[in-house]
Structure formats: C-alpha cells, structure tokens
Structure 1
Amino acid sequence: MINEQYFEDFPVLETTRLTLRSLVMTDASEIYSIRSNVKAMQYMDTVLHHTIADTEKFVTLNLKTYQKKEGLFWVLIEKNTDQFIGDFSFWKVNRRNSRAEIGYSLHPDFWGKGYMKEAMKTILHFGFTKLKLHSIEANINPDNNNSRKVLKGIGFQKEAYFREHYYYNGEYLDSEIYSLLENDLIR
C-alpha cells in the first residue's frame, strides 16, 4: 500500500553532492535548458521544447500530477554551486499494485560524473522504504546505452523488449522495459 503522506508533504532528499527538491514554476528556465537541448533529448522520444512556454506547460502538467497524487517530480541541485543539473520523477503511480515508472534527465554538462546514479539510488531507496512501492519500472529507448548502464548498475533487470512499441515523429519505435524490486537495489 502506497504511503500517501508524501503526496501532502513533498520529500526533500539529500545525497553527498545533491539536494533533491520539489519542482516549482521558477525552474522552467532550467528545465528548458534540457528539454530544448537536442543532445540531452536524443533518446527521450518526445517533442523538443521550442519556447519557454512549452516548458511552462510541462512544469504545470507535472505540478498537477503531484496535486492529483499521481507522481512526484524532483529537481537535482548541485550543492556546491546551487545549480540545477537535472530532474527525476515517479509517474504512472499504480496504487493497486504499488508500482511506479521513473523518468529522468540530466544536462549534458553533467554527464559521466555519477550524478544520476547518486540521485537515483537515493530516490529509489525512498520509493521502497518510505513511499512503500513494491516495484519500479523504467522504459528506455534501446539505443540509450548510458541510461541502460545506469539502470543495470543500480540493479534493474531487463523485463522486455517491445518492437515498434509506440509511434513518435512519423515512425514506430522499439522500447526496453526494466524493473527493480527492493531486494535488487544495489546501494
């Protein structure tokens, strides 16, 4: 059974190098720096943001998702510089089965430095121990080797490969599905 408390009082989390706090509308310009970046969005299979208004709609949608108790969206702030570097979310929260899907992005300037793995370990641990999730799922583009490496390094197991799983930008794309149970999480 999912712990509803965290949909009333957003959980701010800390790692060695990061503060993981709730999304606010003033984060739109930083989110835009990722969502408008071709390199950052290469494997996201979603529309690039062309204006800050696109990102404000995205932020509004995620804030409403939290208000409806359907997801949690953290922004990743580097402690030493107080700089936004990325985001992480639980979404598609399934109360009946105590499941959620994750989504995440990191500005390319911070790739290869272990930030996403650091944030992910902390948030996933929170998801299992505090939010009381039973399983967590990730859906990635099969060409996204960096994402696959992070997921496997934390303990995610590949569950499926779906051919032509969804339609985007004029073509059907494949996807890989990974899942994690609490005992699989590598701390």
Structure 2
Amino acid sequence: MFKLETAHLILRDMQIDDEEAFVAISQDAKYQRFYDESDCDPDKYRHLTHLFIEQSLEQPRQSYQLAIEHKQSGQFIGTVCLRLESDRQASIGCGLSRGFQGSGLMVEAAQALMQYGFEHLNVHRMYAETIANNRAAIKLCQSLGMQKEAHFRQHRFFKQQWWDTVVLAVLKQDWNLPKSS
C-alpha cells in the first residue's frame, strides 16, 4: 500500500472503509458549489471509491488518488490526487472535509504529494484546473507555488450557467518546498 506521512497526516491508498466518509464530503453544500449535480451523486462517490482502489493496483501506476487521514484521530478527512499524463505532466486535485478546511492541512497534503511527484515520479510540470470563482482553490494553488497560466471563458456548463475556468501550474525547476515552521 502506498503511504506518505507528514507532520499531521497520512496520505494513503483509498480503502473500502473510506467510502462513507468520502460520500459524506461530497454531500456538503459548500463542496457542491462548483460541481454539477450529477457529479455529487452519492452512488458516483461509491463507484469512485472502488475505482480508486482498482487504480492503486495498476502497474505502472498512473493515478495516486489518496485518502487523507488525520494522524491524531485516524479519521478520513479528504482526498488528494496526482494523475500522471503524457510528457511528464501531472494534474492534481483535492477535497477536504469542511471541519478541517482553513487549517493548513490541505497545503500540507498537497505539498507532500507534489514533492513525491517531482522527486520520485520525475514529473516536469504539475497543474490544476478549477472554476475561476473558486477562490479557495486558487489561493491553495498559489500557496503551492503555482502560477496562473490560462483563463478559459465560459468553459464549463452546469447549474444552468457557463463558468470560466483557470489553469495554474508549477514546473519542477521552479518548485520550492516551503520550509516547515
């Protein structure tokens, strides 16, 4: 089983025991703001749990969709992922239980996975795409050293409207892991 440890977290492969907590995160109204209703169906998250478990067994591995476990409580509190693409590119994404948002734990989780990607998977460029109105996601990406590379106007349609998206990225040569405080 894949596992990374940080000061406060364990990042590990998803397990079937994570399913209900993963579903619960997806049902939070704040989480659903920037997703189509069909993307937040509980059955979809149950299916995704099984898919992520299957992907963890693939060789060579292309997807690191990891559970975020709080070390102190052992609780599943979210997910962080790195998906390998062609030409040493990788996309990243994440989701965190509302009770832990704003605590710096998502930055801690994402930094650890990005560091792993750059150092052990030889990723050249990591990027994230998000809805332009998702200020929290953009702030997170910027705190990880990412810079805005693109703004796509009216790029996604859901919730009866068009949404702009932005792409933020960082190159391996520009990656500087922030010093622990």
TM-score normalised to the size of structure 1? 0.85
Residue 33 of structure 1 corresponds to 24
Residue 23 of structure 1 corresponds to 14
Q: Deviations over 1:87-118 (max 9, x none)?
A: 00112x213x1111111000110011100001
Long gaps (5+) in structure 1: 1-9
- SS of the aligned residue for 1:186 comes to coil
Residue 156 of structure 1 corresponds to 146
- What is the root-mean-square deviation of aligned Cα atoms in Å? 1.8
Q: Which runs of 4+ in 1 moved over 2 A?
A: 43-51, 60-70, 166-172, 183-186
- SS of the aligned residue for 2:137 comes to helix
Residue 107 of structure 1 corresponds to 97
Give the 3 Å change call, closer, same or farther, for CA 45–99 of structure 1 in structure 2.
farther
Give the % identical residues: 25
Residue 119 of structure 1 corresponds to 109
Long gaps (5+) in structure 2: none
| AA at the equivalent of 1:179 | A
More contact order relative to length (CA 8 Å, sep ≥ 6): 1
Cα deviation for residue 172 of structure 1 reads 2.5
Matched, 1:86 2:74: no
- SS of the aligned residue for 1:39 comes to helix
TM-score normalised to the size of structure 2? 0.88
Aligned ranges 1:1-187 → 2 under 5 Å: 10-45=1-36, 47-51=38-42, 53-68=43-58, 69-91=61-83, 93-95=84-86, 97-187=87-177
Say whether the 8 Å CA contact 2:156–2:164 is kept in structure 1: yes
Partner Cα separation in structure 2 for residue 115 and residue 44 of structure 1: 22
Say whether the 8 Å CA contact 1:37–1:48 is kept in structure 2: no
